[in-house]
A and B are shown apart, each in its own frame.
Chain A
């Protein structure tokens, strides 16, 4: 990697987007005292015995408003989803069950947990990253999906 790679827009965009995600997580913990973990916010909505639904709904509405607000400034970036329907359903089920069992995903463990210095979150993040690397290796290079 040389200097021109750093000035390449993908790196700048990644860093800028990451800083924004960090600011959002900081605002949530400092003002609301909560972890900005998307899987936990979603699964809390599905539990009938949890009374704290309103902030979860508002958080998700904020997320849903993001593409609308982004489009005021510019067109949404192009998105490519290679997975077919069956693959998306299996992946979705694995992500839903897995993040529930692990109590967190990329945001709760990967961003907030690591920021907090939690060993559990560091272990979770290393595990799901390794699983992601191996899965892409198998599907792309061995099975050719």
Chain B
């Protein structure tokens, strides 16, 4: 059941990204372009998602286990550390340069966009590189 639900959630998430317009990098850059012809419509994506999410997470926070009995894995970290801020800064620069964040890039790659494949390959290389450096640092 957990694995079936993972597939269903991935599917719904992907459909939400396509319907919302998040899979079009030029639209994402239009949303980030405050000084140009700003397109605020993508703010509604986050608003819609958080509206539902806030209800679900309020319930989830009170539980030790999920409705299917899996352990509730919510982060307990609270510190605003260097990694969080520098990492988010780097991510935001990459997002602004390309118009891709991880979810939409995966969906666009699956839809057969060659440029999305290039982005996803580089993103996976970046994740692997971070993993190697982190292990070396330990």
Contacts and interface: CB of A to CB of B under 8 A. Distances in A.
Nearest to A71: B111
Contact of A127 (B79, B92, B131): B92
Interface residues of B, number: 114
Interface in A107-122: 107, 109-120
Contact of B113 (A60, A79, A115, A128): A79
Contacts of A3: none
Contacts of A102: 83-88, 90-91
Nearest to B40: A1
Looking at B3, B21, B89, B94, the one whose CB has the most chain A CB atoms below 10 A away is B94
B119 to A, nearest CB: 4
Contact of B91 (A58, A81, A111, A131): A131
Interface of A: 1, 8, 10-11, 13-36, 38-39, 42-43, 46-47, 54-56, 58-70, 76-83, 85, 87-103, 105-107, 109-120, 123-125, 127-137, 139-141
Interface of B: 1-26, 29, 32-36, 39-57, 59-61, 65-68, 70-75, 77-80, 83-103, 105-111, 113, 115-116, 118-131, 134
